Each structure stands twice: as C-alpha cells, then as structure tokens.
Chains A and B, each alone.
Chain A
Amino acid sequence: MIVVNYLAAVALLCIGLYAVLTRRNMIKIVMGLSLMEASTYLFMISLAYRAGSTAPVLLSPPPGQSAASLVHGHVADPVLQNFCLTAVVIGVAVTAVFLSVVVRIAQHYRTLDTDKVREMRG
C-alpha cells in the first residue's frame, strides 16, 4: 500500500472537480478536467504497484532477482499500466477536441465565460 499516492490522487481529483464545478472560464474547466485525468492515471499506477517490485520487464532483471522470480509476481501489474497508456492517448485526443471547440467558441461569442454562453436552458 502506498497511502500517499492514493491521498495525492484523491486530492488532485477533488481540485480538478472543484475547478470544473466552480470556474466559469472554459479554459479553466478544461484544466480542471486535465487534473482529474492525471489523478486517474496516478490512481491506476498506484493500484499496479506491488511492494518491493520492479518494472514489468523480464529482460536483464535487477540484481538479486531472476526472470523466473519476476514471472512469479515481483513486478508491477503491466495491465493497469497499459490502461494508463491507452487512456493517455485518448486523453490527448479529447483535449485537442476540447481546445478546438473552445477556440471556436471564443471566435464566435468573443467570450469564454460559460455563464454568457448559455442560450439553451429550460
């Protein structure tokens, strides 16, 4: 257990969510979402951690360990790390779409205030 990591992940998540819920500036909302995204990566990587383990690479094991002992569980969980890699790629794409929408909104409405860009309500 690495408690500090989990606490940091929760703190990041809360800061990001706070920004999304209270900030009116669209760029700040996107930043808040990016913070939340980073917190999910930290959380996943921490879930993958095993006490005393190394990276999930079987070639040239660190001193004191053999490839066989690595196979039997002395490595961090590679599946959760793969989760993060996939999500990082998706996250980049989503952020790009996000920012392009924000740019178009800025061009069209001449403001980034979510309170001024709400024609549709009720």
Chain B
Amino acid sequence: MTGPALASLLPLTVAIPLGGAVTAPLLARVSSRLPVIVSVAALAGSAVVLVLEAPQVFGGRMIAHYMGHWTPVRGQVLGIAFAADPFGLMLALAAAVIGAVLMLYTLSELGGLGPRELGGYACLFQLLIAAVIGAALTADLFNLFVWFEVAALSSYGLAGFFLERPIALEAAFKILVLTTLASFAVFIGAGLLYAETGALNFAQLHDSLTGHVTTPDAIALGLLVAGFGTKAGLVPFHGWLPDVHTAAPGPVNALFSAIMDSLGILAIARIVFQVFGVASTPALGLLMTLGLISALLGAIMALAQDDLKRLLAYDTISQVGIIVVGLAAGNLAGVAGAVYHLVNHALFKALLFLAAGAIVHRTGLTKLSDMGGLARHMPVVAGAFVLAVVSIAGVPPFNGYVSLSLIHQGLQQDHEMVPYVLTLTAQVITIAALGRAAWLAFFRRRPPDYEWREQLRPGMVTGFASLGACCVAFGVAGPLVLGRLMAPAASGLLHPARYARAVLSGSAQLPVARIPFDYVSPAELISVAASLVLAAGLAWGYLRTREPRLIRGLQAMHTGSVNDYAAYAAAGTLAAIAVLSLA
C-alpha cells in the first residue's frame, strides 16, 4: 500500500477498540462471554492494522494523517494530526498484542463472572488500550491530554471494579486523588505551552521551542514531566501504584503494569526528546535523578514485601526507573536500550502478574509467607515465573540481557559512572527481591495442605506460553530486533526535526541508526554473573536477618495515607519545576 493510504488507516487503530468498548456492554445482554470474545477480536484487529503500517514505518518512513483532512496550511496544523513514528508504533503494537493476550487470559480466569461485570470489564479494558494507542500515535499536545484522561478514567473503573477484596476501594481512592492531581499538572502545562508558543502540534511546538526555551516553557515542561511521571509511577509520584496492584486481579495488574505505565514513559519521551529537543533543557538531568531514585527505592521496597503482587508492583517502579535512566543517557545506545526495555518490561511483568494471579486463582493465597513448594503442584506457573525472573535478571539469552546491556553501554559511552554503578546496584537488589519471591513461593519446603480451588484453563496456559515465547524470542533474536525495531525507534526520538517534518508534510525519512551490539561481550557477561552472585548473597542474608533500619525507614514513609502521598507528589512537582526553570 502507498504512504497516504497507510496513513489514512491510522485512526482505525483507535477506532476499532473504541467501537469494541461501546458494543461490549450491549453484547453482554446476548451472552456473558461475547464481550470478551469481541474484545479479543477488536484488539487483534487493531494489531493487524498496526502490523500493516509496520514495514514502512520501521523502514524509516514516518507517516502522518490529519483528522478530518485538516491538512497543514503554511506550516500550521489546525486539526489533530496522528503520526506513526517507529517508537509510537511499536508501543501501540505492544499494547494491542499484549492486550489481546490478556483478554484471552481473562476469558479463562474470570469467565465465570456475570454478564454485567464482563461487559463493563471488557469496555474499560478496551478503552484503556485505545487510550494508550491514541497517546502513542497522536502528534497533538491537547489530544495527548485527552488520551491521558481516557486512560485515567478507565483505570479508576478497573482499579475499583473487583470488590471481592475491599482494599480495592481504598486503592481506587488513592489512584483517583493522585491521577487527578497529575491531570491538573498536565492541563496547566499544555495551556502554558500553548499560551507561550501559540501551538499544540508537536512539530510546531518543536520548531518554536528550538533555540529559545522561556521560563514559562520550562515550568510547563516540569508540570508535564510530573504529570506523566505519575502515570508512569516514578518516585515520588508513585503512591498509588503498589496499592492498586495489590488489590486488582492478575490480568488487570498486567494491564496496568505492562501497558498503562508505558503511556507515561511514552509521553515523557515524546515531550522531552521530540518537543523540547534534547540539548536545550536540563530535563535529562532531572530524568536521570528521578530514574535512579525510582530504580533504587522500588528495588529496596520490593525486597521487603510479603504480598507477592505488592512486591511485583514495587519492582515495576524499579524497572520504570531503569527505563527512564536509559532515556536520560540521551545517546543512541541508551535510548534504544530504554525503548527495548520498555517492551521487555511489558512482556515479563505481564507474565509475572499473570503467574501471581494464577496462584491466587488456584490457592487463594496472596502472601509469600503462606506459600511454599508450589513448583510441584503448578509447574506451568512456576516455569513462567522463573522464566520472567531470569529475563528481568538479565541472564542471556533472555530479553532483559539485551536491553540492560544496551542501557549500560549508553551510560558508559558518556562516562556516567555514578548512574552506571547505581543502576547495577538496583539490578542486584531487584534480582535478590525476585529470587527471594521465587524461592519462598515455589521451591521452599512446606506441607502441601493447600485448599485447592480452580484449575488452570487452556486460555491461561496460552497466555503464559505466548508471553514466555516472546521473552525468549526478544532475547535470542536480540541483534535482529535491535537493528530492525529499536534502532529506528531511537533514531526517531533523537532526530526530532525529522519527526516534525513528518508531522507537517505527511511523511519523512529517518536517518538509519547503527547501534553496535556485542552479544557475548565479556564485560557484560561478567557483570551479569557478578550481580547474580551478589544477589544470591543478599537474598540469603536478607532471609536470615531482621529488617535493616533503612528498609524500616522507607516502609514508614509509605504510610498508606492518601494525604501523605499527595504531599510527596506535590513536593516532587514543585521540585521538578524549580530544577527546570532555575537551571
């Protein structure tokens, strides 16, 4: 197909799941499972359209579509533009494909729910994925805000949807307060940028911001980073994330952690790289700081958790931190590694949360201290969990190895040794936390007096198998994936002028980026081996000692009070604004 024909298909990728979301509650009147089946079809349909776009976009040719054919006049776009660059297209594709797999999984795990519940669930689920796809493709700041709000509203619904555990209500209130605060930040930030530049389109914003960033622009950038940082779960805006994940069932956790968080990171990357341009602001320093704090705090808190899902949620904060560190490295290897890790995180974190959900489904247990010896009774789940853990740990040949080595390479290239060492430290603590969880849940000896509930169903096994296969494939085919998918994505982020031209003229060619990657680099293999040994020591030591004072202090900071979490977020927002406008 030609470029314009492909471009005119772009709105379909959002329209199909939105249509599915509208019809799902209606179809629930016919049959209780029909809404879920329709959602799988809608998300797969959206993925097919995205795949059609892929050869051209990943070949380096970005394309844009103007809603209602309001084409640009003298370099000004009045309507909303949708632009497919490799970065956005990849995240949209990941959201659609993983969403379809999660929906298939839902059909098996939650298929026994009533028609009203399944209809509403399918509706909210598709709205959230449509919002992520829309946010990934839009080239308009206010449109991005609207997608942010669509994602926020559906996440409120999903967070409070399953009331079998009443803590879901508490979690829903926390996500409501913090995300509403974040939406104010994004709203004011977008308005300030518009008032300063008279533009909402990313291309026009980029053109008027290159060279001169005024103080209101810098304040707007701070507000936008803080607002989208809340969605991504960066510390100190993270208060809602562990609670929401503790309360929700497995597929919803996987949806939030794998797909919704990437909306925040995607928006931050777009705004920092493609709107503001890398060189003009001290934003990278701010991102580096936020990323390192998130990576370390998330990993330490994960080590101390007893609730399995809460542990995985804190690990999400840590992984998001690592991704942001990669972005903040600001060079080709670092950014490509960050984008790679974003996709990898979506895969292995979805797998981990589904495994945790399957344990709840099978035994009704949520706490690690109650579990033990589950590997003998649930070999599929244990296999999936261990596969995901070794992927996160960065063991070759699994996917985490490739993305983490790229991020390390990016940090070393610019001689950022302090971030490099801190990233490795976070990595060691992460491996220890997840290794401890795997040991306690699956391999520790414990009398098998479980109260067995429901069996694993075929859809659940399909979910584990497909996500696990992706984890392996993205690792084994690392150099191929890097060259074909991740290098164009990083090139798009680091050449904002080309992206701007694509948005304003309908299409543009990206320069080809070559990222050297040595699969068997001795330094990287040694660092993986060393972190595994250190992590084993740390986990063994932690299982044997009382809580260290540092961990108790950090736990005391997470008071569970929404007022405190809002205070952390407000302070973080002010600090971000101060750093960016004074620097």
Please name the residue on chain B nearest to A104 by beta carbon: B169
Chain B CB within 8 A of A15 CB: no
Contacts of B177 in A (CB 8 A): 20, 29, 33
B570→A117 contact, CB < 8 A: no
Contacts of A79 in B (CB 8 A): 194, 200
B560→A21 contact, CB < 8 A: no
Q: Which of A13-56 contact B (CB under 8 A)?
A: 17, 20-24, 26, 29, 33, 36-37, 40, 43-44, 47
Chain A CB within 8 A of B280 CB: no
B566→A101 contact, CB < 8 A: no
A43→B555 contact, CB < 8 A: no
Contacts of A114 in B (CB 8 A): 173, 561-563
B563→A101 contact, CB < 8 A: no
Contacts of B567 in A (CB 8 A): 21
Contacts of A47 in B (CB 8 A): 191-192, 195
A118→B561 contact, CB < 8 A: yes
Q: Which residue in B180, B187, B559 is a CB contact (below 8 Å) of A118?
A: B559
Q: Determine the interface band of chain A, counting residues with CB < 8 A from chain B.
A: 35 or more
**C-alpha spacing A44/B160, complex, angstroms:** 32
**C-alpha spacing A102/B562, complex, angstroms:** 13
Chain A CB within 8 A of B558 CB: yes
Q: Which residue in B170, B180, B200, B558 is a CB contact (below 8 Å) of A117?
A: B170
Interface centre among B194, B558, B559 (most CB of A within 10 A): B194
Given contacts A21-B567, A21-B570, contact A105 B561 (CB under 8 A): no
**C-alpha spacing A97/B200, complex, angstroms:** 29
Contacts of B160 in A (CB 8 A): 101, 104
**C-alpha spacing A80/B142, complex, angstroms:** 10
Bits for A90-122, please: 1 = Cβ < 8 Å to B, else 0.
Answer: 100110011001101100110000110111111
B180→A94 contact, CB < 8 A: yes
A-side interface mostly: helix
Chain B CB within 8 A of A86 CB: yes
Given contacts A86-B146, A94-B153, A97-B156, contact A117 B173 (CB under 8 A): yes
**C-alpha spacing A83/B140, complex, angstroms:** 13
Bits for A63-96, please: 1 = Cβ < 8 Å to B, else 0.
Answer: 0000000000000010110010011001001100
Q: Which of B444-470 contact A (CB under 8 A)?
A: none
**C-alpha spacing A23/B177, complex, angstroms:** 13
Q: Which residue in B146, B172, B558, B559 is a CB contact (below 8 Å) of A101?
A: B172
Q: Determine the interface band of chain B, counting residues with CB < 8 A from chain A.
A: 35 or more
Q: How far is the CB of A11 from chain B (nearest CB, A)?
A: 15
Contacts of B556 in A (CB 8 A): 122
**C-alpha spacing A43/B187, complex, angstroms:** 11
Q: Which residue in A44, A102, A122 is a CB contact (below 8 Å) of B555?
A: A122
Please name the residue on chain A nearest to B571 by beta carbon: A21
B563→A37 contact, CB < 8 A: no
Q: How far is the CB of B33 from chain A (nearest CB, A)?
A: 27
Q: How far is the CB of B395 from chain A (nearest CB, A)?
A: 30
A122→B171 contact, CB < 8 A: no
**C-alpha spacing A114/B484, complex, angstroms:** 50
**C-alpha spacing A44/B169, complex, angstroms:** 33
Contacts of A94 in B (CB 8 A): 149, 152-153, 156, 176, 180, 183
Please name the residue on chain A nearest to B166 by beta carbon: A108
Contacts of B200 in A (CB 8 A): 79
Chain A CB within 8 A of B181 CB: yes
Please name the residue on chain B nearest to A17 by beta carbon: B570
Q: Which residue in A24, A80, A98 is a CB contact (below 8 Å) of B195?
A: A80
Please name the residue on chain B nearest to A94 by beta carbon: B180
B188→A26 contact, CB < 8 A: no
Contacts of A37 in B (CB 8 A): 180, 184
**C-alpha spacing A93/B177, complex, angstroms:** 14
Please name the residue on chain A nearest to B153 by beta carbon: A93
Q: Which residue in A20, A26, A102, A109 is a CB contact (below 8 Å) of B566?
A: A20
**C-alpha spacing A69/B271, complex, angstroms:** 36
Please name the residue on chain B nearest to A93 by beta carbon: B153
5 further A-B contacts with Cβ under 8 Å, apart from A40-B187, A120-B170, A120-B247, are A29-B177, A80-B194, A105-B173, A114-B173, A120-B242
What are 29 pairs between A and B in contact, CB < 8 Å? A21-B567, A24-B563, A43-B188, A43-B191, A47-B195, A79-B200, A80-B195, A83-B187, A83-B190, A90-B183, A94-B149, A94-B152, A94-B156, A97-B156, A97-B157, A97-B176, A98-B180, A101-B173, A104-B160, A109-B169, A114-B173, A114-B561, A119-B170, A119-B560, A120-B170, A120-B243, A121-B559, A122-B556, A122-B560
Q: Hey, which bits of chain A sit against chain B, CB under 8 A?
A: 17, 20-24, 26, 29, 33, 36-37, 40, 43-44, 47, 77, 79-80, 83, 86-87, 90, 93-94, 97-98, 101-102, 104-105, 108-109, 114-115, 117-122
Across the A-B interface, give the 4 residue pairs with the lowest CB-CB distance, nearest first: A121-B560, A118-B560, A122-B555, A47-B195
